[in-house]
């Protein structure tokens, strides 16, 4: 395998960042008994079940890396590419049994906890309804994703292209055809043969991966942080496919994300990932190697050179008043924004001007119904075992047709409950004096009594909105469920839960970590079908990948009845009509089947 490796330093004085890459001839020392890297988790696995042993995580080339120096909160950097052909990885599917089970990545990071409660916001009379509408869900493809690795939880995400799906977990990546056939699976770190990011220098502590498909450029994008305490080094690895097929060539970059503020060095945790027409954006929380918290970190990559394997050019900015910021990807809209919780009654929207050169963060807040951090979620199989639902941080966000959609988990009726928002941007930030407003929001509380958590939200071309989430109760094992709404459904409502994947076991330890996030995406082929990924299982987790469609109403004009006016509207749209409301059976065209379905409802 031929691997291009180069190192480039920023030409801007006082703004230093570098890419650290491993030559293809360099390999980590191996354990002769297990043929695994001697400093890998596999080599340091506990001798007896339940007896912890220290794991050693070593950065193989720390001397070549320089921290990102924040001057007035801003830094810039450059990074040379490594062009990697995944088709030469051997074997293509390295689905080895885990060397150990249930180890938490977070247990090997320094303390990086934040309080569960944000400041109390101004009281208001807003409510987020939990009413259920009559919208129906039509499940499509279902197949298992990546199953138990050595790490818990999986932190699963997915990206959907024209013919393939990419999925990531802690700490593996896999490619699938849309029929479920797996074509590729390797470790993200140096425990692979090689690992996905290993050829650019990644060692054995790669965590919190995320992936997505960029419909602006028709490319897959994967990121994952690295962290090494002994050398106080940290990186944000990023990979971009060279086309819409993930099998084959990727452009990969290993960018330092050690951030020095004053005399304190920080590393990046809990990344967010998103795109718009011009850039790729990564967010994270800044934690000190020896303690301390510095708020939210934003890195903006100019997308243009990355699409051809050119030198990566990026800029960083820090905003100390925010945390756990998610990127609101924009498509077909052209500008991404960022979202986080501001208080118990407000959501904070961030915009970055001049993102690739001299980034400046501007802020708007949107008033929402009062909310608090969620409790843990009970699960079937134990009266003491519960699932950790995190702290109420934003889970994901995206922008479509001038509306920003976001979701997180809150406390409602003494349960963990998925909360979703649709915010109207009102042309902000293009019009700097404009003020975004809350369009609607809702809380997902199934009538069957489950707690809901780790929501992931998306909207398609005709305005359907879907939320995928985990659900459990004392009578239900953890499962993957969805709710949805059509554009004309009553404000703030979602459909009753539809279960896409059932777990068959449950964890028994109190406070068991679950999630930490699920994923959802809209299929770019028709800009209509949804795909999602979530965690099921228990002591040995697995992930489930599902597609589904939102069934359309024959009452096209929302008059309360199906009548000749609806039939006339349907006939006017006869023919190819991808993701239109008149396509009642979601076939991609309005035809005799849709006419028959409408007549049956007259």
Are residues 381 and 311 both part of a single domain?
no
Q: Enter the tokens of residue 375.
A: 């409790």
Compute the distance between CA of residue 323 and CA of residue 294 in angstroms, rounded to an integer.
Answer: 9
Binned at pLDDT 50, 70 and 90, residue 116 comes out as: low
Instruction: Provide the pLDDT confidence category of residue 15 given band limits of 50, 70 and 90.
Output: very low
DSSP 8-class letter at 490: P
Please, are residues 480 and 499 in contact by the beta-carbon 8 Å criterion? yes
In a domain, 462, yes or no: yes
The answer to whether residues 569 and 434 belong to one domain is: no
pLDDT of residue 26: 29
How far is the CA of 180 from the CAs of 143, 185, 279, 517, 547, in angstroms? 6, 13, 31, 22, 11
pLDDT at 99: 72
Token output for 404:
């920003």
Q: What's the pLDDT band for 383 if we cut at 50, 70, 90?
A: low
25-29, 503-507, 539-543, 596-600: range with lowest mean pLDDT? 25-29
Confidence of residue 335 (pLDDT cuts 50, 70, 90): very high
Q: Is 256 left (phi over 0), alpha (psi -120 to 50) or beta?
A: beta
DSSP summary character for residue 260: E
Note whether residue 582 is domain-resident: yes
Number of structural domains in the chain: 3
- Which range among 95-99, 104-108, 384-388 has the greatest average pLDDT? 384-388
Whole-number Å distance between alpha carbons of 280 and 238 = 10
* 345/249 same-domain check: no
Strand partners, 282: 273, 299
Backbone angles phi, psi at 55, to 5 degrees: -100, 145
Query: In Å, how far are 2, 162, 404, 417, 501 from 482, measured between CA atoms?
Result: 44, 23, 19, 13, 10
Side-chain half-sphere CA neighbours of 241 within 13 A: 26
Report d(CA 57, CA 385) in Å as an integer: 31
Q: Is the pLDDT of residue 307 over 60?
A: yes
467 & 569 share domain? no
Exposure string over 151-177, b if 16+ CB within 10 A, otherwise e: bbbbbbbbbbbeebbbbbbbbbbbbbe
Going by pLDDT thresholds of 50, 70 and 90, the confidence category of residue 54 is low
What's the residue count for the chain? Answer: 602
Cα 587 → chain centroid: 29
- Who wins on pLDDT, 188 or 6? 188
Do 450 and 316 lie in a common domain? Answer: no
Residue-wise pLDDT for 143-157, tens only, equals: 999 999 988 899 999
Confidence label for 83 from pLDDT (cuts 50, 70 and 90): very high
Q: Residue 387 maps to which CATH number?
A: 2.120.10
pLDDT, tens digit, 9 for 90 and up, residues 246-257 = 999 999 999 999
At 31, is the pLDDT very low, low, confident or very high (cuts 50, 70, 90)? very low
Q: Are residues 185 and 286 in the same domain?
A: yes
For residues 108 and 207, the answer to whether their CB atoms sit within 8 Å is no
Spell out the SS3 assignment of 196-226.
CCHHHCCCCCECCCEEEEECCCCEEEEEEEE
Tens-place pLDDT, residues 198-208: 999 999 999 99
> How distant, in Å, are the alpha carbons of 55, 377, 392, 449 from that of 412?
40, 12, 12, 12
Same domain, 438 and 301: no
pLDDT value at 226 more than 90:
yes
Q: How confident is the model at residue 420 (pLDDT cuts 50, 70, 90)?
A: very high
Per-residue pLDDT of 567-578, as tens digits, reads 999 999 999 998
Instruction: Specify if 589 maps to a domain.
Output: yes
Q: Which residues pair with 259 in a beta bridge?
A: 68, 266
Per-chain mean pLDDT for the chain: 87
> Strands 68-69 and 259-261: what pairing?
parallel
pLDDT at 33 over 60: no
What pLDDT shows up at residue 7? 27
* pLDDT per position as a tens digit, 489-506: 999 999 999 999 999 987
In a domain, 476, yes or no: yes
Mean pLDDT of 563-589: 92
Whether 2 shows a pLDDT value over 50: the answer reads no
CA distances from 467 to 297, 338, 498, 521 (A): 27, 19, 11, 10
State the pLDDT at residue 30.
Answer: 27
Report the run of H or E that residue 596 belongs to, with start and end: helix 592-600
pLDDT on residue 72: 82
- Supply the DSSP symbol for 305: H
Q: Are residues 516 and 579 in the same domain?
A: no
Region 128-146 average pLDDT: 95
Q: What is the pLDDT of residue 13?
A: 23
In a domain, 399, yes or no: yes
Angle of helix 592-600 relative to helix 564-572, nearest 10 degrees? 170
In the predicted structure, residue 111 carries a pLDDT above the cut 80: no
Residue 104 pLDDT level (bands cut at 50, 70, 90): confident
Cβ-Cβ contacts under 8 Å for 277 (sequence gap 6 or more):
216, 330, 334, 335
Cα separation, 544 vs 528, in Å, equals 20
Assess whether 546 and 577 both reside in one domain.
no
Assess whether pLDDT exceeds 90 at residue 66.
Answer: no
Strand order through the sheet with 519-522: 137-147, 541-550, 530-537, 519-522
**pLDDT tens, position by position, 246-301:** 999 999 999 999 999 988 999 999 999 999 999 999 999 999 999 899 999 999 99
Report if residue 136 sits inside a domain. Answer: yes
Residue 98 has pLDDT above 60, yes or no: yes
pLDDT at residue 102, as a whole number = 67
Q: Number of helices (H) and strands (E), helices first, in the chain? A: 3, 43
Is the omega angle on the peptide bond into residue 194 within 30 degrees of 0, that is, cis? yes
Whether 134 and 270 map to the same domain: the answer is no
Over residues 16-21, mean pLDDT: 32
Give the mean model confidence (pLDDT) for residues 36-43: 34
Residue that is last in its domain, among 271, 300, 322: 322
Give the C-alpha distances (Å, rounded to integers) separating 600 from 138, 325, 592.
Answer: 19, 48, 12
Measured CA to CA, the distance from residue 364 to residue 22 in angstroms comes to: 43
Among the candidates 322, 345, 362, a domain finishes at 322
Determine the pLDDT at residue 55.
65
Q: Report the pLDDT value the prediction gives residue 109, as an integer from 0 to 100.
A: 78
Q: How far apart are CA 373 and CA 408, in angstroms?
A: 10
163 with 287, same domain? no
- The Cα diameter of the chain in Å comes to 77
Report percent pLDDT > 90 for the chain.
Answer: 75
- Tell me if 482 sits within 8 A of 468, measured CB to CB: yes
Whether residue 105 lies inside any domain: the answer is: no
In this predicted structure, the answer to whether residue 192 has a pLDDT above a threshold of 60 is yes
Q: What pLDDT is recorded for position 280?
A: 98
pLDDT of residue 16: 26
Are 315 and 395 found together in one domain?
no
| Percent share of the chain, pLDDT over 70 | 88
In this predicted model, what pLDDT tens digit does every residue of 501-538 receive, in sequence order?
999 987 766 568 888 999 999 999 999 999 999 999 86
Q: How far is residue 557's CA from residue 59's CA, in Å, rounded to a whole number?
A: 61
Q: Which of 10 and 314 is assigned the larger pLDDT?
A: 314
pLDDT of residue 113: 67
Nearest Cα residue to 327 out of 186, 212, 424, 230 = 212
Domain end call among 322, 349, 371? 322
Which pLDDT value is given to residue 384?
A: 65
- Average pLDDT (107-136) is 82
Task: Please indicate, yes or no, if residue 427 is contained in any of the structural domains.
Answer: yes
pLDDT of 419 over the 70 cut:
yes
**Confidence at residue 343, expressed as pLDDT on a 0 to 100 scale:** 96
> By residue range, what is the domain housing residue 452?
126-168+331-551
* Residue 370 burial (CB count, 10 A): 18
Residue 396 and residue 340: Cα distance in Å, rounded?
9
């Amino acid at each position: 395998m031929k691997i291009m490796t180069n190192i480039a330093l920023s030409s801007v004085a006082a703004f230093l960042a570098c890419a650290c890459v491993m030559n293809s001839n360099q390999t980590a020392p191996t354990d002769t008994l297990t043929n695994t890297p001697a400093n890998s988790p596999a080599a340091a696995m506990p001798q007896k079940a339940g007896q912890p042993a220290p794991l050693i995580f070593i950065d193989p080339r720390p001397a070549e890396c320089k921290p990102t120096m924040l001057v007035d909160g801003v830094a810039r950097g450059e990074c040379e590419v490594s062009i990697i052909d995944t088709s030469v990885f051997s074997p293509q599917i390295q689905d080895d049994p885990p060397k150990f089970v249930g180890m938490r990545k977070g247990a090997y990071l320094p303390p990086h906890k934040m309080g569960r409660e944000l400041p109390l916001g101004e009281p208001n009379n807003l409510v987020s309804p939990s009413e259920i509408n009559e919208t129906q869900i039509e499940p499509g493809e279902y197949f298992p994703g990546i199953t138990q690795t050595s790490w818990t939880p999986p932190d699963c995400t997915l990206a959907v292209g024209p013919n393939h799906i990419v999925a990531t977990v802690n700490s593996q990546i896999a490619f699938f055809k849309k029929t479920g056939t797996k074509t590729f699976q390797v470790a993200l770190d140096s425990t692979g043969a090689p690992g996905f990011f290993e050829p650019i220098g990644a060692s054995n502590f790669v965590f919190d991966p995320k992936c997505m498909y960029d419909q602006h450029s028709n490319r897959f994008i994967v990121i994952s942080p690295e962290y090494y305490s002994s050398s106080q080094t940290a990186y944000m690895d990023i990979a971009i496919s060279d086309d819409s097929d993930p099998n084959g060539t990727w452009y990969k970059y290993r960018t330092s994300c050690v951030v020095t503020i004053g005399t304190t060095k920080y590393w990046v945790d809990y990344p967010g990932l998103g795109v718009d027409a011009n850039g790729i954006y990564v967010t994270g929380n800044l934690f000190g190697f020896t303690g301390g918290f510095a708020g939210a970190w934003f890195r903006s990559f100019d997308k243009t050179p990355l699409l051809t394997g050119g030198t990566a050019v990026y800029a960083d900015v820090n905003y100390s008043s925010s945390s756990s910021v998610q990127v609101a990807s924009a498509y077909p809209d052209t500008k991404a924004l960022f979202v986080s919780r501001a208080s118990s009654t407000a959501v904070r929207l961030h915009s970055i001007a001049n993102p690739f050169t001299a980034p400046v963060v501007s802020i708007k807040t949107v008033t929402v119904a009062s909310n608090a951090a969620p409790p843990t979620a009970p699960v079937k199989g134990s009266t003491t075992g519960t699932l950790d639902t995190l702290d109420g941080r934003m889970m994901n966000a995206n922008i479509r047709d001038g509306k920003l959609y976001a979701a997180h988990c809150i406390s409602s009726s003494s349960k963990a409950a998925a909360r979703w928002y649709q915010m109207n941007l009102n042309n902000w930030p293009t019009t700097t004096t404009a003020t975004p407003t809350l369009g609607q929001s809702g809380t997902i509380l199934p009538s069957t009594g489950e707690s809901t958590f780790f929501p992931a939200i998306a909207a398609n071309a005709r305005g359907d909105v879907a939320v995928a989430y985990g659900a459990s109760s004392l009578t239900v094992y953890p499962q993957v469920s969805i709710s949805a709404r059509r554009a004309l459904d009553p404000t703030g409502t979602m459909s009753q839960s539809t279960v896409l994947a059932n777990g068959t076991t449950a964890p028994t330890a109190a406070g068991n970590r679950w999630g930490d996030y699920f994923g959802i995406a809209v299929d770019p082929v028709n800009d209509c079908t949804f795909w999602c990924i979530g965690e099921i299982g228990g002591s040995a987790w697995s992930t489930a990948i599902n597609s589904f469609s939102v069934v359309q109403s024959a009452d096209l004009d929302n008059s309360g009845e199906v009548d000749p006016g609806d039939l006339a509207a349907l006939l006017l749209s006869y023919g190819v009509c991808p993701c239109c409301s008149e396509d009642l059976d979601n076939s991609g065209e309005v035809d005799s089947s849709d006419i028959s379905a409408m007549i049956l409802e007259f």
